[in-house]
Amino acid sequence: MIADHASGAGAGQPAGRQYTGIQMASRKQRRAAIQAEKPTGLSRLDIARRLNYHTDFLREVAKSSADIEVAWNLDDIRRSLHFIADHGDEAGSTVVMATAKIFERTRDDEVRRACLESLSRINHTKARNELLKISQNQGLDQMWRDLATTSLRRMNERSQPIAASVNGTALKSGQP
């Protein structure tokens, strides 16, 4: 089979094109990688559907008057926050307020960290403002203010394009 491909006479090979077995495998791998990178209409639809589900769930948690640690499954909250963080570019501003409210109302460290991570990944002005509020809230422990500041810094670094100098090295912001 490989010999057919090498000679250019293999099935599906145009006359005059010669590929070795390795080249054929390499081309197939590249095509598969390109296809894997492109979200299909179905996967985009699935992500949008799941974003809506997790957003609605987090909004429900944030609106509830009950103690979050008692009334809700913290694993479910963390799972939703992680999904939002993973798809922050597609997340809307409505989830920002719910996430900030959950951060404010919970005392669970893991949920709070997941809230900060989610806020830092949501590419929206409201998310940036909520991180800023948390970082300046004197009623919080210094650790949480520092984590919010770090998250805000990472968010800003991701949103700023990196310029290159003449010799190809990356420029730091503020550098001539």
Query: Does the residue 153 lie in any domain?
Result: yes
Residue 70 pLDDT > 60, yes or no? yes
CATH at residue 45: 1.20.930
| pLDDT tens figures, 97-119 | 999 999 999 999 999 999 999 99
User: Are residues 33 and 45 located together in one domain of the fold?
Assistant: no
Hey, what's the torsion of the CAs at 115, 119, 121, 127, to 10 degrees?
170
67, 164, 170, 173, 174 from 167: Cα distances, Å: 57, 8, 9, 17, 18
Q: How many domains does the chain have?
A: 2
Structural domain range at position 29? 2-37
Are 45 and 129 contained in the same domain?
Answer: yes
* Domain match, 78 and 121 both: yes
pLDDT tens, residue by residue, 12-44: 444 555 555 555 555 566 656 555 555 566 688
CA distance 119 to 113: 10
Whether 55 and 31 map to the same domain: the answer is no
What token pair was written down for 57? 């769930």
Same domain, 136 and 59: yes
pLDDT for res 8: 46
CA–CA gap between residue 99 and residue 81 (Å, rounded): 8
